[in-house]
Structure 1
Amino acid sequence: MGVGLFPTEPVATMREYTQLAESLGYANVWFGDSQNIWRESSVTMGASAVGTEKIVFGTGVTNAVTRHRSLLASTWATLSEFTGGRVALGIGTGDSSLRTMGLKPLKLAELEEAVGELRTLFAGDAVAETSSGADFHLNYVTEPMDIPIYVAASAPKILELSGKIADGVIILVGTSPVFIEAALETIEKGARASGRTLDDLHLVLWTPTAIADDPVKARDLARAHVARVCIRPLPAKVDPSLEAAITKIRDSYDYYHHMDTEANHADIVPDELVDLFALAGTPDECRARLTEISALPIDQVSIIPFVRPGESRAETMKTFAQLVSEIGD
């Protein structure tokens, strides 16, 4: 189990969620990194790590634009040192952290270059700064550090790239086996290009989650994140009857309300898309979908708990852990 926590609440609350996750047996906690809409991720991770013993800290996800590569490398080397290696650097091309400032995400070739340079810095070696041409390195890294890099992927091209270059993949393609299987096939194609297989990657399914006795409430809570999934190219085709809804979502998406349950663009997401791209519904409905996912070669299902503003994410985390336990039994 993993849990994605966007820092929409004060650091002390995020630390409480982290401690709860560790007590429930979650393997990873992934913190969103979008400086204009959420609290600072590196501060939140460092504070949340205090007092933990097992849980692995990651970003879901950071980027190499707002975070200069020297800053990214130093942040993760420091966090790894502090936690005894309990880190997973989740990175992507950049999304709301860039788009809220009118900036464009990295091209895939630029992302690949950034990942390579981060590995060089973690090895204790130097890389050239893009603008100045000067070499730089982490002066306190005296021996290579093993810091796994996860690439967040949803569209086919980046899914393939993740299979080629990443240690792990954060897969955002929904919860329907049709889309998951298509994503895995594309990742595997990239893995083969680097002489690897899916077994060489840690595969994390990233899913918006809302579990409630009232299925309407649950689906309503997940609609905003489903909109986020739909605005990107998908690894498999949706039913033609849903294409008009997806086009409307893409045209109206507001990045300052990125994954906000109250966002206006959430209102135009139909139930059919929610059922394809989220873990949302009653406990029985969610258990059934998780059982389907458990048959696929996914290493971790990482939930993003969605609740009403002012409500705690703790109950969703507890319920998900219980459902996983029941499926395991």
Structure 2
Amino acid sequence: MFSKGVGLFPTEPVGAIRDHTLLAESLGYDNVWFGDSQNIWRESSVTMGAAAVGTERVVLGTGVTNAVTRHRSLLASTWASLAEFTGGRVALGIGTGDSSLRTMGLKPLTLAELEQAVAELRSLLRGEAVREPDSGAEYHLAYLAEPVDVPVYIAASAPKILRLAGRIADGVIVLVGTAREFITAALDTIEQGARESGRSLSDLHIVLWTPTAIDEDPVRARDLARAHVARVCIRPLPAAVDPSLQAAIDRIRDGYDYYHHMDTEASHADIVPDELVDLFALAGSPDQCRDRLAEMAELKIDQVSIVPFVRPGETRATPIRTFAEIAAQL
């Protein structure tokens, strides 16, 4: 059986995100993941630090950060400090960069650059020195008394980065939808990468990143999930989509607005058909979502991490509670 996680984009004030974190811990969630996109959401490091206050068990992580807007020295120091404060309850989720970069016209890292960034972060967290590429100077975290254990999770959807994650990461945040064929293809690709470093799939912690909207009215639930489904579709996927849906995916890619990244009111959400929502989200009535979760439980997933969507003015506490109730029935 999988554990529970929740992804919280800091679209609300820091105090509200802290309340959601405390609620998730009280409901038995194992991880809370915080979005990091400085131009459209509140600052993730401030939010995580505040959310950690009063928690005792839940693991805090980014879903996800990058090594462009955040220099490696800053990333390493942030996570060493958060690990110290929480007693090691941290998980560094990182990717090549998405809306945090694209809202400024910057390009994501290449996979080789991401691999180098992960290696340098691990060196810094061990107390070792690394070389700054622009200045040529060596630097290190001078205050570390001993190495800090911070597991690194790579966010991945396309085959090449899934394979890289399998080879070098401690965990993988998998964003490929909720359909069996896409999840299975992603897991197979991760395992190929794991074998390249002498490991197996069981050596990694697999988190299925799951856009989620639960409502007694399935139509309203689908509408809430469309924006996140659009975000999934703009990236390459580990398995082929039915050709009848390719035209819709092409339109989404052409019209995606990163300043409305995963915004339920985004215009690009309007062109996402129901068929794609059913492939890439957990959206429907409580009974429908429970049935889909039961299917996921048969796969080699360690955690289902929901990204809860609600209408403007409503609280994400409701789907956080509802998902916990549904998962408890399995």
Q: What does residue 308 of structure 1 align with?
A: 311
Deviation at 1:245, TM superposition (A): 0.2
Q: What does residue 92 of structure 1 align with?
A: 95
Secondary structure at the aligned position of 2:173 is classed as: strand
- Residues in 1 aligned to 2:313 and 2:36: alpha-carbon distance in whole angstroms: 21
User: TM-score normalized by structure 2?
Assistant: 0.99
CA offsets 1:13-69 (integer angstroms, 9 cap, x no match): 000000000000000000000000000000000001001000000000000000000
- Residues in 2 aligned to 1:133 and 1:54: alpha-carbon distance in whole angstroms: 41
Q: What does residue 29 of structure 2 align with?
A: 26
Q: What does residue 284 of structure 1 align with?
A: 287
Counterparts of residues 28-67 of structure 1 (less than 5 Å):
28-67=31-70
Deviation at 1:183, TM superposition (A): 0.1
Q: What does residue 223 of structure 2 align with?
A: 220
Secondary structure at the aligned position of 1:54 is classed as: coil
Secondary structure at the aligned position of 1:90 is classed as: strand
Deviation at 1:315, TM superposition (A): 0.8
Deviation at 1:142, TM superposition (A): 1.7
Identity %: 77
Letter in 2 for 1:42: S
Q: What does residue 195 of structure 2 align with?
A: 192
Stretches of structure 1 lacking an aligned partner (at least 5 in a row): none
Q: What does residue 268 of structure 2 align with?
A: 265
Is 1:321 aligned to 2:324, yes or no? yes
Letter in 1 for 2:69: T
Is 1:254 aligned to 2:257, yes or no? yes
> How many pairs does the alignment contain?
327
Letter in 1 for 2:91: A
- Residues in 2 aligned to 1:234 and 1:38: alpha-carbon distance in whole angstroms: 26
Letter in 1 for 2:88: G
Letter in 2 for 1:53: E
Counterparts of residues 61-140 of structure 1 (less than 5 Å):
61-140=64-143
Counterparts of residues 168-207 of structure 1 (less than 5 Å):
168-207=171-210
Secondary structure at the aligned position of 2:141 is classed as: coil
- Residues in 2 aligned to 1:251 and 1:235: alpha-carbon distance in whole angstroms: 21
Deviation at 1:284, TM superposition (A): 0.8
CA offsets 1:114-148 (integer angstroms, 9 cap, x no match): 00000000101000001011000001112111100
Stretches of structure 2 lacking an aligned partner (at least 5 in a row): none
CA offsets 1:58-95 (integer angstroms, 9 cap, x no match): 00000000000000000000000000000000000000
- Residues in 2 aligned to 1:183 and 1:130: alpha-carbon distance in whole angstroms: 33
Is 1:244 aligned to 2:250, yes or no? no
Secondary structure at the aligned position of 1:39 is classed as: coil
- Residues in 1 aligned to 2:133 and 2:315: alpha-carbon distance in whole angstroms: 43
Q: What does residue 155 of structure 1 align with?
A: 158
CA offsets 1:276-307 (integer angstroms, 9 cap, x no match): 00000001110111000000010000000001
- Residues in 1 aligned to 2:15 and 2:240: alpha-carbon distance in whole angstroms: 42
Q: What does residue 237 of structure 2 align with?
A: 234
Deviation at 1:309, TM superposition (A): 1.3
Q: What does residue 300 of structure 2 align with?
A: 297
- Residues in 2 aligned to 1:233 and 1:47: alpha-carbon distance in whole angstroms: 35
- Residues in 1 aligned to 2:128 and 2:197: alpha-carbon distance in whole angstroms: 23
Is 1:2 aligned to 2:25, yes or no? no
Secondary structure at the aligned position of 1:250 is classed as: helix
Deviation at 1:201, TM superposition (A): 0.1
- Residues in 1 aligned to 2:191 and 2:150: alpha-carbon distance in whole angstroms: 22
Deviation at 1:310, TM superposition (A): 1.4
Deviation at 1:168, TM superposition (A): 0.2
- Residues in 1 aligned to 2:212 and 2:177: alpha-carbon distance in whole angstroms: 11
